[in-house]
Structures are given as structure tokens and as C-alpha cells.
């Protein structure tokens, strides 16, 4: 329930017909009453509406093999340090790894300093854990919620069984590994090649 932002109203009472009024006109008491009395169906209908309203719904289904290999190779090369990068998504597929300058360390905090590029196809992240546990930490979950729709964590030993993908809420997502198309270019690019907009002090 803490996920949903409460709206403050001006009444301290519960009106008999509040359920027929638009939700943003409910008082805090009415909101509270609704949570205590809603049916499962109502709860999930609200969850669904909230989820769609708040985030682009996750629709990423697959990852190109070349991109995955690059992610895993990066993990092996950086170990025991963590590394983080961004992911380009085309259609429903993760296609490219976008390397960020100087982003490498053993603390999660480092990825919180990322800036969002103008390029709208950059909508995922990948980072590594220097241990065999590719599961999101509390800090990871906060980061996921604010930084795109698909998030990969690769753990030791950075092989085909040691990575997991999650959506913006930290819900595990199954990504099918698909072959690279014949015209696929290099799956690894530098962030310098992105359009960061003008006037941003991202450097």
C-alpha cells in the first residue's frame, strides 16, 4: 500500500457515495476506507491503472546474443569491480550495450549519478555483482524504478546462467536470447556517441 501516493482531501469523513466520485476527489479517510474494503478485483484493477499511469509497461522480451556476450565479457573483464552500462532497446529486444565513461566501482551509489540521454531507445541498464547473486538490492530497486524498463544484473561467473533481468519494479523478466541479425553492427558503443541534449552538464 505504501506504493500508492495518498491524496489529502478537505473532509474528514467518509461520504456514502464516494466510490462513484473521481478518485482524486476522495478524502484521505475515504481512500483509507477504500483500501480496507476493496475487493481483490478492485485492488488489481487499481494496481494495473496505477502501473500503466506511472511507468511505460515493460514490453521487452528478448536480447540479442551479441549484446549478452558483450555484457558477460564486460563482467569478466571488470571483476572484482562492478561495472554498469546502459542498454538500447529496439522494438521488444535489447540490442546494444552503451558504455559509460569512468563508471566502474564497488559501490552501487555510482550508478545513481547517471544522466538520461535524449535518445529514447536507451531504456535499460545493466550492472554486475562481484558475487554469485544476481538479485536486486534495495538500492537497485530504487534505481530500476527511475531508470528505464529493463534491467539486467550479471553475477559471478558471468556466464549464461548467472544473469537475470528485471522490470522497473524489480519483477523478474524472462528474456529470450535471440541471434544477431546479419546486418547487426557492433553491439558495444560509447556513451559519447549518444545525444545528451544541449546545456546539460553531464560531463
Q: Which is nearer to Zn ion, 27 or 162 (CB)?
A: 162
The residue (of 30 and 140) whose beta carbon lies closer to Zn ion is: 140
For 45-77, give the secondary structure using H, E and C: HHHHHHHHHHCCCCCCCEEEHHHHHHHHHHHHH
Minimum CB distance to Zn ion, residue 133 (Å):
9
In angstroms, give the least distance from the CB of 136 to Zn ion: 6
Q: Specify the stretch interacting with Zn ion by CB under 5 A; choose among 33-41, 42-50, 56-64, 131-139.
A: 131-139
Region binding Zn ion by CB under 5 A among candidate stretches 57-65, 140-148, 168-176, 184-192 = 140-148
Instruction: Provide the minimum distance between the beta carbon of 121 and Zn ion in the complex, in angstroms, as a whole number.
Output: 23
Determine the size of the site formed for Zn ion (CB under 5 A).
2
Q: Which residue is nearest to Zn ion (CB)?
A: 140
**140 is a site residue for Zn ion (CB under 5 A):** yes
Task: Tell me, residue by residue from 74 to 113, as one string, x for binding to Zn ion by CB under 5 A and - for no binding.
Answer: ----------------------------------------
DSSP labels for the chain?
-TTSPP---S-SS--TTGGGS-GGG--HHHHHHHHHH--HHHHHHHHHHHHHHHSPPP---EEEHHHHHHHHHHHHHHTTSEEEEEEEEETTEEEEEEEEEEEEES-GGGGGG----S-TTEEEEEEEESSS-----HHHHHHHHHS-SEEEEEETT-STTSEEEE-TTS-EE--EEEPPPTT---SEEEGGGS---SS----
To Zn ion, the closest distance from the beta carbon of 94 in angstroms equals 18
Residue among 9 and 105 whose Cβ is closer to Zn ion: 105
Interface positions with Zn ion (CB under 5 A): 137, 140
Amino acid at each position: 500500500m505504501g506504493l500508492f501516493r495518498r491524496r489529502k482531501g478537505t473532509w474528514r469523513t467518509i461520504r456514502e457515495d464516494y466510490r462513484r466520485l473521481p478518485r482524486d476527489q476522495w478524502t484521505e479517510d475515504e481512500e483509507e476506507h477504500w483500501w480496507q474494503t476493496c475487493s481483490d478485483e478492485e485492488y488489481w484493477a487499481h494496481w494495473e491503472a496505477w502501473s500503466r499511469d506511472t511507468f511505460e509497461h515493460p514490453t521487452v522480451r528478448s536480447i540479442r546474443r551479441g549484446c549478452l556476450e558483450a555484457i558477460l565479457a564486460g563482467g569478466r573483464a571488470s571483476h572484482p569491480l562492478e561495472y554498469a552500462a546502459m542498454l538500447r532497446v529496439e522494438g521488444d529486444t535489447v540490442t546494444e550495450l552503451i558504455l559509460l565513461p569512468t563508471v566502474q566501482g564497488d559501490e552501487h551509489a555510482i550508478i545513481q549519478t547517471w544522466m538520461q540521454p535524449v535518445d529514447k531507445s536507451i531504456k535499460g541498464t545493466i550492472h554486475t555483482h562481484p558475487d554469485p547473486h544476481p538479485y536486486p538490492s534495495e538500492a537497485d530497486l530504487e534505481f530500476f524504478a527511475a531508470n528505464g524498463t529493463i534491467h539486467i544484473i550479471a553475477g559471478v561467473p558471468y556466464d549464461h546462467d548467472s544473469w537475470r533481468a528485471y522490470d522497473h519494479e524489480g519483477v523478474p523478466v524472462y528474456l529470450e536470447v535471440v541471434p544477431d541479425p546479419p546486418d547487426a553492427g557492433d553491439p558495444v558503443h560509447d556513451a559519447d556517441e549518444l545525444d545528451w541534449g544541449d546545456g546539460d552538464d553531464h560531463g
